Chains A and B, each alone.
Chain A
């Protein structure tokens, strides 16, 4: 018996049938859906990372009495970095297993997956998506410590030289500030104090201070900055 005959006999005897067309359609569809889904979620994570960086005040590291590395690590949004990495890996896996994915080098496969998330994530961030997502997370996930909560924690260490809160009264060379725990402070400042140009020193304005605690209720400010990220000013009620 010829080999080709043997093959046809085997196929007929064992009733081996080609997989249906929809199987491949579904397989490819699922692969591309998982790619799109992963890129989208990666983009969301990246937008939150950008929001965290915007809020993180990395420039205060130079003033810190704590270990700089410790504080730096404390400021990084590891959860969201982890989420971004996870979904980049899923997107990479989807490209790699797509029909023509092998045409791209490993670097291109990873780069393409990450780049799409980064581009989309930047757009989300510009549209305020990062902040909203982060806030939604903070509201709905009890174990999650929000970026704002972490920021408040860092800026509520007067004994280490960090204080923040809302201006309640302004008078000459000092003003009164209510911190996030509701405690009232007298803030002293002078000609040598750096005041960020965007800070208006108005009642209701939320600010953060770098300086020294003079006593239990008095804080001498060396720097006065707006509460929001660099260049942002918050007035009145905080959003967290």
Chain B
């Protein structure tokens, strides 16, 4: 049985962890709190269908549940959750790539119109068929570039949070973001699209 949203909302992430360890039903609060943004992140990162993304999320939360007592409280819970979800999604992505699966779900099917304003999209100067173009460009970037751009601009994370998600030093994150932005801009220029990052 899941816990009602009104009850979940009264508790912080850490309180929910404590309550979940005593009563597993409270774990549903954590799932529901992060579900929408994580599903969106998985789909953007790994080009998965709704069903596949949900499977990844379920598996990730099973893993989060198993490791709940290992959560380092000096981290933000969201960073830790993103790390686990990210690893699961990337692992599936690599598995699919190694099996030669190139069929990807169309961007328009996977990406809703709920991309936050403070994202890459919000930084664009000229409006065009923005969602499709931006994501088509992101798709062409190597994974290390794509993931930092997504975390920075689409998930609006700080360098420290990205460092915790990807387990990289903050300096490396900063360098990678700079390079990724350059690569993104070059691709955009080649396509005669106008972005400002």
Contact = CB atoms under 8 A, between A and B. Distances in A.
A237 interface: no
Nearest to B8: A4
Contacts of B57: 3
Interface in B57-93: 57-58, 61-62, 65-70, 72, 74
Contacts of B144: none
Interface stretch (A96-104, A126-134, A165-173, A199-207): A96-104
Interface string A1-28: 0111111101110001111110110000
A18 B69 contact: yes
Given A8-B24, A18-B66, A3 B167 contact: no
Contact of A4 (B35, B68, B69, B172): B35
Contact of B31 (A3, A20, A21): A3
A11 B69 contact: no
11 contacts: A2-B2, A11-B65, A12-B24, A16-B62, A18-B65, A19-B66, A19-B67, A19-B70, A21-B69, A102-B167, A105-B172
B27 interface: yes
A16 B1 CA distance: 16
Contacts of A20: 69
Contacts of B21: 18
Given A4-B2, A19-B66, A11 B169 contact: no
B168 A102 contact: yes
Contacts of A24: 69-70
A11 B74 CA distance: 27
Contacts, number: 69
B160 to A, nearest CB: 9
B70 A11 contact: no
Nearest to B171: A105
Given A11-B24, A12-B24, A5 B2 contact: yes
Contacts of A6: 58
Interface of A: 2-8, 10-12, 16-21, 23-24, 99-100, 102-105, 108
Given A19-B66, A103-B169, A3 B58 contact: yes
A17 B62 CA distance: 9
A2 B32 CA distance: 10
Interface of A is mostly: helix
B139 interface: no
Task: Give the most central of A7, A19, A23: most B CB within 10 Å.
Answer: A7
Task: Give the most central of A18, A105, A108: most B CB within 10 Å.
Answer: A18
B170 interface: yes
Given A4-B2, A8-B2, 19 more contacts: A7-B27, A7-B58, A8-B24, A8-B28, A10-B58, A11-B24, A11-B62, A11-B65, A16-B66, A17-B66, A18-B67, A18-B68, A19-B67, A21-B69, A23-B69, A100-B74, A102-B167, A102-B169, A105-B169
Contact of B35 (A3, A16, A99): A3
Contacts of A105: 169, 171-172
B148 to A, nearest CB: 15
Contacts of B72: 99-100
A4 to B, nearest CB: 4
Interface string B151-192: 000000000000100011111100000000000000000000
Interface string B39-73: 00000000000000010011001100111111010
A103 B173 CA distance: 11
B169 A104 contact: yes
A103 B65 contact: no
B25 interface: yes
B60 to A, nearest CB: 10
A19 B70 CA distance: 8
Contact of A7 (B31, B68, B69): B31
